[in-house]
Structure 1
């Protein structure tokens, strides 16, 4: 479906959809506080490989996976992160789908580390691939996590404390589902539309979880980016689309609750590798996009100053986390699967 047709179709469906919000709307039911607790060999060092938009099943996905294995063998990996669009063009609707084997188990099983996973808009496809309208795809991924412990996704929204240092965890990850908040068409479940009770509940969960956390480093995981110079752009201006539910106003507002409370926002969606220092719109929080582990394409469009950015090249990120420092390493990948360390950025914290 042409993207030029989306605004017109979105307007038609929005006009036919029930209104969400207002004083007569359904009450907000708190989301369950789902936790995935993970152990690591060294409680004061965490090494994380970060991929996004990987689920193509083609040669690029396999080349990047081979490069990830090479880096993990050389530098060590304790944990993986998958930032959504785990399947193209659309995610499976059942946990028994063979796609889980061919797009995940066969490719990332040899890494032998758990992956914290979040859903993307292609995983939640409804009318067409990537529209982000059907949460059944995300629920299939949650169900699959019960079948394969390497795929860690106990809920669409969950947290994962990792490691332990005196007084708290070394790091804690907070996974959110952004797909219903930037769907190209109104999502099927009316209560999950932007501004509705599910959106409000996820915001409340993120706010409370960040405030309660005593982790040294706090990282939020979501598919859609807050900032990007790529073709989708910043949250609130995605793709130049006209309607708030399409352009990611609710994604911007959700992440805004983490600004200053989280150390980093990690996302995909844009098929590039980008790192941004704290911005005026989100002070105190670094943002990074790692969305080139399968899909690539689309050059630089925006002009926001980046600490590092790479377009049109497959790749991934590798994080090295200690109590005093979080180091971001960006790797680009050659066609034969050879990784190149393209950029490094250090984020330091003063000792307690």
Structure 2
């Protein structure tokens, strides 16, 4: 089994273990840090547009990584617009991932989004086949870490990341697989896996990554009330229930979907867990619509998040890309843990 050294992390290819596809596929990827007591994570979402905005943000990420360092990346879904590739050989993988982000030389923890799982129209979220193509692509490009639609990625004892697939739980059309619709057996199995995996984690820091947000003041709003849509299955109550099992266990929930940068301190219905939205790395738009108090929020401007993680602290920075590609960084939170 080969070992690949990228960006200070050694990723076995594929260093995964877990249940078979016949059960809920939730393998574990082991990443060994070159510096086990310091990890720098760059976080983007909704990036896969192929537009100049995506390229602007990619260049800004490269500049920040050159100056501050990046050991690992995360992409929070909608990796392709308007829909995900149908074949591993699609040129979209090269155009919208390999070329803009390959030069960073780091592995990316990949999350599926509703555009990746399109069926009849872009973004309907009703066909998981699009995500399965991206899972297959991870077997030919070790920088694209996505061994299944839901999985755990661990960096020594410092960090555990738990990736979930929220697209079937808030799809605009019912899933083409009835068993994967909200309230069905797949939903229950993913929720049970997340609850057990987060609870049993011995990592210093625990992060949950999914495309749809738990909280957002942007266009789509909070889980359980997305877009004030007419049908219950569209409004994301199942997303809310999924994240609920990690509340108080995970330190941070990361999501995209709304094309903004937002950070929320722990809320009464999710105590002990911060939530952040980083969905402005390709698609940008909208304005503040919700009224939930936020620790930080920016609308209408492209950008991404950067996290520095040590055993004692998790520091979040927001980077906004302005006119001419100028990049402005702001420290937006510093979470601390005792010895």
- TM-score under structure 2 normalisation? 0.92
Change (3 A) 1:192 1:152: same
Structure 2: gaps spanning 5 or more residues: 1-21
Q: Are the counterparts in 1 of residues 315 and 331 from structure 2 also a CA contact under 8 Å?
A: no
Aligned counterpart, 1:124: 117
8 Å CA contact 2:295–2:332 kept in 1: the answer is: no
Q: Secondary structure at the match of 2:66?
A: helix
Write the deviation string for residues 138-183 of structure 1: whole angstroms up to 9, x where unpaired. 00000000010000000001000113xxxxx100000000000000
The 1-side partners of 2:150 and 2:55 are apart by 28
- 1:36 to partner: Cα distance: 1.1
Residues matched between the structures, number:
318
Distance 1:261 1:83 in 2: 20
Q: Equivalent residue for 2:224?
A: 236
Q: Distance in 2 between matches of 1:70 and 1:208?
A: 38
- What secondary structure sits across from 2:333 in the alignment? strand
Q: Which residue of 2 aligns with 1:330?
A: 318
Q: Structure 1 residue 264 and structure 2 residue 252: aligned? A: yes
Q: 1:30 offset after TM fit, Å?
A: 4.5
Is the 8 Å Cα contact of residues 46 and 320 (structure 1) preserved in structure 2? yes
Provide the secondary structure at the position in 1 that maps to 2:324.
coil
Of 229, 244, 269 in structure 2, the residue corresponding to residue 281 of structure 1 is 269
Q: CA deviation at 1:324?
A: 0.7
Task: Find the residue that maps to 2:214 and give its secondary structure.
Answer: coil
2:289 is aligned to 301
Pairing 1:199–2:175 present: no
Query: Which deviations, in whole Å up to 9, do the C-alpha atoms of 1:272-307 show, x marking residues without a partner?
Result: 000000001100100000000000000000010000
Shift of 1:209: 0.5
Deviation at 1:264, TM superposition (A): 0.5
Q: Distance in 2 between matches of 1:30 and 1:257?
A: 20
Contact preservation (8 Å) 2:25, 2:149:
no
- CA–CA distance in structure 2, aligned partners of residues 339 and 318 of structure 1: 13
2:102 aligns with: 109
What SS does the corresponding residue of 1:296 show, helix, strand or coil? coil
- Correspondent of 2:141 among 145, 148, 153: 148
C-alpha distance in 2 between matches for 1:91 and 1:307: 33
Match of 2:215 among 227, 238, 241: 227
Measure how far apart 1:211 and its partner are.
Answer: 1.4
- How far 1:243 moved relative to its partner? 1.6
**C-alpha distance in 1, partners of 2:315/2:186?**
34
CA deviation profile, 1:192-223 (whole Å, cap 9, x unmatched): 00000100110111011011110000000000
Q: Residue 22 of structure 1 corresponds to which residue in structure 2?
A: none
**Aligned position for 1:21:** none
In the alignment, is the contact (CA less than 8 A) between 1:60 and 1:335 conserved in 2? no
Q: Which residue of 1 is the match for residue 152 of structure 2?
A: 159
Aligned to 1:72: 65
Q: Could you say which residue in structure 2 is the equivalent of 1:249?
A: 237
How many angstroms apart in 1 are the aligned matches of 2:326 and 2:60?
A: 6
| RMSD of aligned Cα (Å) | 0.9
Greater relative contact order (CA < 8 Å, ≥ 6 in sequence) = 1
- More deviation, 37-46/246-255: 37-46
Could you tell me whether the CA contact under 8 Å between 1:142 and 1:154 is conserved in 2? yes
- CA offsets per residue over residues 50-86 of structure 1, 9 Å max, x none? 0000000010000000000000000000000000000
The worse-fitting range, judged by mean Cα deviation, of 339-348 and 43-52 is 339-348
What is the TM-score when the length of structure 1 is the normalising length?
0.89
Alignment of 1:45 onto 2:33? no
Aligned partners of 1:36, 1:94: CA distance in 2, in Å? 24
1:173 equivalent to 2:161? Answer yes
Match of 2:200 among 212, 215, 228: 212
Deviation at 1:342, TM superposition (A): 3.3
